[in-house]
Amino acid sequence: MLSKYHWIAFETILVKEVRRYTRIWPQTLLPPAITMSLYFVIFGNLVGRRIGEMGGFNYMQFIVPGLIMMAVITNSYSNVVSSFFSTKFQRSIEELLVAPVPSWVILWGYVLGGVSRGLLVGLVVTLLSMFFTHLTIHNLFVMVAVVVMTAVLFSLGGFINALFARKFDDIAIVPTFILTPLTYLGGVFYSIDMLPDFWRAISMFNPILYMVNTFRYGILGVSDINVWAALAAIGGFIVVFAALALWLLERGRGIRS
């Protein structure tokens, strides 16, 4: 049960997280907007003119949902991993540990801070995409559900990464060697129906493929996978990651000597 004191602690952590990234918005909100604008220009306009259509839509429309999800994934993850590790590095985490604040309040305060940044950047990228193409909403529930669930999942992933990280270099390992390859191979720029059978089968093990295609279904109504199974799988991953993060936090993994 969320008592008055628990709510105050949760609200304090969440507001602190939101103020942290909004205070330095030229470093947190502006770069993704510029990067995605370049994707729109280069891949959507220049390359897209040569490709033509994909999945029954012009190439720009096809890649926009994937680019929005890419922004949400990257920013949700990076916000939590950098913020919580900085708290560890500066040893201000000790103030939370000695306070009568449950571990789950700490966890969800940081996670929802990451979710807020991911969704805000996703909204900015969506508004920018309107200057390049026209988008309609095919299924509002699916669109909102998958983007929120994805932001929660990768915020939890960033929290777990921050718990294990021992130095600043460690927080870049997962984004560089795992997230980036999986994102680019997750159907953002192409339909997996274009791939040979072997590589199509391999792609089915990429979790980001399901998130991108489910979000694309919410906007365009086309998908390479079963969207309901994908939503169920994302929900299952959230439960597993949340349980693992809470267990690690309560054991003091990476935050207690």
Percent of the chain whose pLDDT exceeds 70: 98
| Backbone angles phi and psi of 208, in degrees to 5 | -70, -25
228: which 2 tokens? 């309901």
C-alpha R_g of the chain: 19
pLDDT surpassing 90 at residue 113: yes
Q: Give the model's confidence band at 144: pLDDT under 50 very low, under 70 low, under 90 confident, else very high.
A: very high
C-alpha distance across the termini of the chain, in Å: 30
**pLDDT score recorded for residue 136:** 86
How far does CA 234 lie from the centroid of its chain?
A: 12
The whole-number average pLDDT for the span 102-121 is 95
C-beta atoms surrounding 22 within 10 Å: 13
| Backbone angles phi and psi of 58, in degrees to 5 | -65, 155
What does pLDDT average to over the chain?
Answer: 90
Per residue in 46-89, pLDDT (tens digit) is: 777 777 777 778 888 899 999 999 999 999 999 999 999 988 88
Higher pLDDT, 90 or 155: 155
How many distinct helices (H) and strands (E) make up the chain? 13, 2
The whole-number average pLDDT for the span 125-151 is 93
The whole-number average pLDDT for the span 159-168 is 90
